[in-house]
């Protein structure tokens, strides 16, 4: 029988994977708000972040922090390149074309990763000193997991500050809110879109650097991570940063708790069952979403 | 005015005869096998052409229905030893019922959310097919399935399978075309362009979308049922997201909303896929790049794309200032 302590422990460890989903969800939202495009290659940016860091350390002999920084910037530039080469030319095409284009980007990225890094799963040394912090009652949390949570919350605060305090953040918000209005006051939507792709690719890479020490990273790990991140963003309330983070954490915890109730093999379906349930019962997500209401009308 | 439903032109008769002779002229077993696979994809793409091209809905999840059809066939004809024709009927019926059951809730969603929810269907299908081991055989799936046999004739040679699959595809094509040129087809198009307009005209967008969904699920399920007979095995990873993506890609390459295009796109992309899979680890990256190039340069499908380009060039030559036109 599952004891209360086990239950709590599962919940706590769910928060860690939840924080990862939250970071991926943030990336989805950033691009969607700036360009109304759903970037299904988001999970591959996560994979690239982790794999590039591993390669930087093992092949180029860079120190850990430098390798991570290079990986994050490099992935950001790949995101920028993807926007310029693929998304920009098809920006006025029907929805199905843009969905397929981001799937194409995803296939190209994971295919290139297969060629560059091979099929073997890689891992990284932990960021935080090894060890676990006890929360009392037999429940403990690893310090790496705490670091992931902390970075996630810091990034959320940074995002909030960026979009409400800085000029370019406000410009991105404006371009997302009202296209014509943004055009009229001289905000370049093209530039906003480029910024958004750079930021969310870099954000995905940060998530990749954070989770590679916890789970193993492989060339094809991106697809499932990306889909779960998107599911998290919808569950929390599509379109808002806070919703993305909340949705990620909730999804992580639900997925982890499900381990106590149903066999582990079903874990990967939990996210999508939760998603379909949320869409059927409360389609605007936990925090509510204007974008989803409009998409459903 | 009464609409003429069956429209087979003389050109089409010639084309069908030529196509029917092709497997006899090129009588190599690999060719027959690849064309059989192309026919399976074509059947799935035809359903999607009605759902996406006419009713305007997006699905990246039809491999789940293909899988459902394949497993229905495998379980009925393999495990339960029923006649394969009964299995084939079930492989259309079960996905159709499943689509009917979830359609109304699912199709309230639009755009990206519909795309994501359909992707979710594939994930849920794969997990179920892996986990319900007693019924589905788990990760390995079911194998040693019987060949399709019609009234005692066993269709086990590649040549027979090509004719079987493409015969079904042609019937499905005729049915789909008649459907699309009937009142249903026009109603689907109204729903695709504006649901409010559809309501004003007394049409129910919910019911119509669900019907288009069921239609496409039945087509995909039949393709899955034939798949189970031809490969004589089914496994969960055969019906993953990449199969769904392939179906949508075939649809786009042929031109969304064109039924002959769906057939041509399926044949083209199947050959591309088989050809690329010879290059093993390069295939994924190259396939992704080709997909991107197709979307950027031929978003309306290559047939329409090439045609439109030709017309543009000819037109610009016809004008006096054609040099200026071309340079622009």
* Residues of chain A numbered 160-219 and touching chain B (CB < 8 Å): none
**Regarding beta strands B153-155 and B148-150, do their DSSP bridges make them parallel or antiparallel, or are they unpaired?**
antiparallel
Question: What percent of chain B has a predicted confidence (pLDDT) above 90?
Answer: 5
- A190-201 average pLDDT score: 86
Q: Which helix (H) or strand (E) holds A91?
A: none
The size of the A-B interface in CB pairs under 8 A is 133
Q: Residue B280: pLDDT above 90?
A: no
Please state which of the ranges A11-25, A125-139, A267-281 shows the lowest mean pLDDT: A125-139
Please state which of the ranges A1-10, A76-85, B100-109, B290-299 shows the lowest mean pLDDT: A1-10
- B67-92 average pLDDT score: 82
Q: Count each helix (H run) and each strand (E run) in chain A, helices first.
A: 12, 2
Cβ neighbour number for residue A6 with a 10 Å cutoff: 14
B112 lies within 8 A of chain A by CB: yes
Nearest CB to A227 within list B119, B286, B295: B119
Which residues are A139's β-sheet partners?
A: A136
How far B136 CA sits from the closest chain A CA (Å)?
14
Residue A200 vs residues A43, A188, A216, B6, B283: alpha-carbon distances, Å: 11, 18, 22, 52, 27
Nearest CB to B292 within list A93, A104, A265: A104
Across the interface, do B112 and A38 touch by the CB < 8 Å criterion? yes
Report the predicted TM-score, pTM, of the whole model to 2 decimal places.
0.82
ipTM of the complex: 0.78
| pLDDT at residue B328, rounded to an integer | 44
Going by pLDDT thresholds of 50, 70 and 90, the confidence category of residue B65 is very high
CA atoms within 13 A on the CB side of B254: 29
Q: Which helix (H) or strand (E) holds B5?
A: none
Which residues are A134's β-sheet partners?
A: A140
Nearest CB to A296 within list B108, B124, B281: B108
How far B72 CA sits from the closest chain A CA (Å)?
21
Tokens found for residue B114: 């519909």
Going by pLDDT thresholds of 50, 70 and 90, the confidence category of residue B37 is confident
User: Which residues in chain A have Cβ-Cβ distances shorter than 8 Å to B117?
Assistant: 275-276, 279
**Hey, of B62, B105, B112, which one would you mutate to test binding to chain A, going by the most A CBs within 10 A of its CB?**
B112
* Residue partners of A175: CB distance under 8 A and separation at least 6: A34, A182, A187, A189, A192, A193
Q: Residue B218: pLDDT above 90?
A: yes
Going by pLDDT thresholds of 50, 70 and 90, the confidence category of residue A145 is confident
Across the interface, do A112 and B281 touch by the CB < 8 Å criterion? no
For A4-295, the fitting CATH number among 1.20.272, 2.60.40, 2.30.30, 1.10.3470 is 1.10.3470
Nearest CB to B256 within list A96, A110, A112: A96
Interaxial angle between packed helices B158-180 and B10-25, expressed in degrees from 0 to 180 and rounded to the nearest 10: 160
Nearest CB to B295 within list A90, A110, A283: A90
**Residue B99 near residue B38, CB atoms below 8 Å:** no
Mean pLDDT, chain B, whole residue set: 80
| pLDDT at residue A97, rounded to an integer | 83
Question: d(Cα B230, Cα B155) in Å, to the nearest integer?
Answer: 9
Q: Residue A297: pLDDT above 50?
A: no
Mean pLDDT, chain A, whole residue set: 80
For chain A, the structural domain boundaries read: 4-295
3-state secondary structure of B128: helix
**Hey, of A31, A104, A112, A231, which one would you mutate to test binding to chain B, going by the most B CBs within 10 A of its CB?**
A104
A81 lies within 8 A of chain B by CB: no
Question: d(Cα A270, Cα A278) in Å, to the nearest integer?
Answer: 12
DSSP B279: T
A225-258 residue pLDDT tens: 888 888 888 888 777 777 888 888 888 888 888 8
Long-range contacts of A4-12 (CB under 8 A, 24+ apart): A5/A137, A5/A138, A5/A139, A6/A260, A7/A257, A7/A260, A8/A137, A8/A139, A9/A138, A9/A139, A9/A140, A10/A256, A10/A257, A10/A259, A10/A260, A11/A253, A11/A256, A11/A257, A12/A135, A12/A139, A12/A141, A12/A145
């Amino acid at each position: 029988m599952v004891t209360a302590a086990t239950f709590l422990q599962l919940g706590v460890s769910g928060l860690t994977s939840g924080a990862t989903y939250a970071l991926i969800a943030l990336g989805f939202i950033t691009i969607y708000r700036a360009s109304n495009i759903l970037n299904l290659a988001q999970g591959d940016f996560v994979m690239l972040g982790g794999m590039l860091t591993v390669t930087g350390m093992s092949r180029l002999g860079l120190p850990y922090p430098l390798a991570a920084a290079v990986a994050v910037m490099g992935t950001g530039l790949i995101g920028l390149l993807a926007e310029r080469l693929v998304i920009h030319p098809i920006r006025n095409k029907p929805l199905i074309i843009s969905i397929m284009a981001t799937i194409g980007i995803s296939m190209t990225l994971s295919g290139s990763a297969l060629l560059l890094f091979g099929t073997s799963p890689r891992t990284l040394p932990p960021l935080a000193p090894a060890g676990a912090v006890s929360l009392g009652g037999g429940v403990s949390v690893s310090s790496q997991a705490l670091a992931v949570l902390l970075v996630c919350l810091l990034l959320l605060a940074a995002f909030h500050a960026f979009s409400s305090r800085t000029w370019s953040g406000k410009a991105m918000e404006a371009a997302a809110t009202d296209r014509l209005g943004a055009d009229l006051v001289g905000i370049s939507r093209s530039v906003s879109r480029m910024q958004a792709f750079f930021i969310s690719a870099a954000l995905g890479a940060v998530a990749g650097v954070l989770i590679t020490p916890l789970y193993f990273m492989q060339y094809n790990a991106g697809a499932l991570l990306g889909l779960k991140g998107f599911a998290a963003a919808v569950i929390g309330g599509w379109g808002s940063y806070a919703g993305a983070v909340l949705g990620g954490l909730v999804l992580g915890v639900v997925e982890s708790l499900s381990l106590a109730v149903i066999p582990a093999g079903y874990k990967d379906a939990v996210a999508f069952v939760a998603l379909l349930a949320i869409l059927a019962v409360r389609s605007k997500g936990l925090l509510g979403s204007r974008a989803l209401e409009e998409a459903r009308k | 005015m009464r609409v003429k439903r069956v429209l087979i032109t003389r050109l089409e008769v010639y084309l069908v005869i030529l196509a029917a002779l092709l497997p006899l002229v090129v009588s190599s077993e690999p060719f027959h096998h690849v064309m059989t696979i192309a026919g399976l994809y074509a059947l799935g793409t035809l359903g999607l052409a009605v759902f996406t091209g006419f009713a305007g809905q997006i699905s990246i999840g039809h491999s789940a229905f293909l899988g459902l059809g394949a497993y229905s066939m495998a379980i009925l004809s393999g495990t339960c030893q029923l006649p394969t024709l009964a299995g084939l009927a079930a492989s259309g019926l079960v996905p159709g019922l499943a689509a009917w059951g979830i359609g109304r809730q699912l199709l309230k969603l639009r755009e990206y959310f519909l795309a994501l929810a359909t992707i979710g269907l594939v994930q849920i299908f794969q997990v179920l097919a892996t986990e319900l081991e007693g019924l589905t055989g788990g990760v390995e799936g079911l194998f040693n399935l019987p060949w399709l046999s019609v009234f005692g004739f066993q269709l086990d040679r590649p040549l027979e399978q090509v004719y079987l699959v493409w015969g079904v595809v042609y019937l499905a094509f005729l049915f789909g075309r008649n459907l699309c040129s009937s009142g249903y087809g026009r109603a689907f198009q109204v729903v695709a362009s504006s649901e409010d307009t559809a309501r004003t005209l007394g049409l129910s967008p919910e019911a119509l979308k669900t019907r288009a969904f069921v239609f496409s699920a039945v087509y995909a399920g039949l393709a899955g049922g034939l798949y189970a007979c031809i490969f004589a095995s089914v496994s969960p990873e055969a019906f993953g997201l990449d199969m769904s993506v392939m179906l949508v890609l075939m649809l786009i390459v042929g031109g969304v909303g064109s039924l002959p295009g769906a057939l041509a796109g399926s044949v083209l992309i199947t050959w591309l896929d088989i050809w690329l899979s010879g290059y093993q680890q390069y295939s994924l990256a190259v396939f992704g790049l080709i997909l991107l190039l197709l979307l950027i340069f031929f978003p309306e499908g290559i047939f329409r794309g090439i045609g439109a380009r030709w017309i543009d060039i000819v037109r610009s030559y016809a004008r006096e200032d054609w040099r200026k036109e071309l340079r622009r």
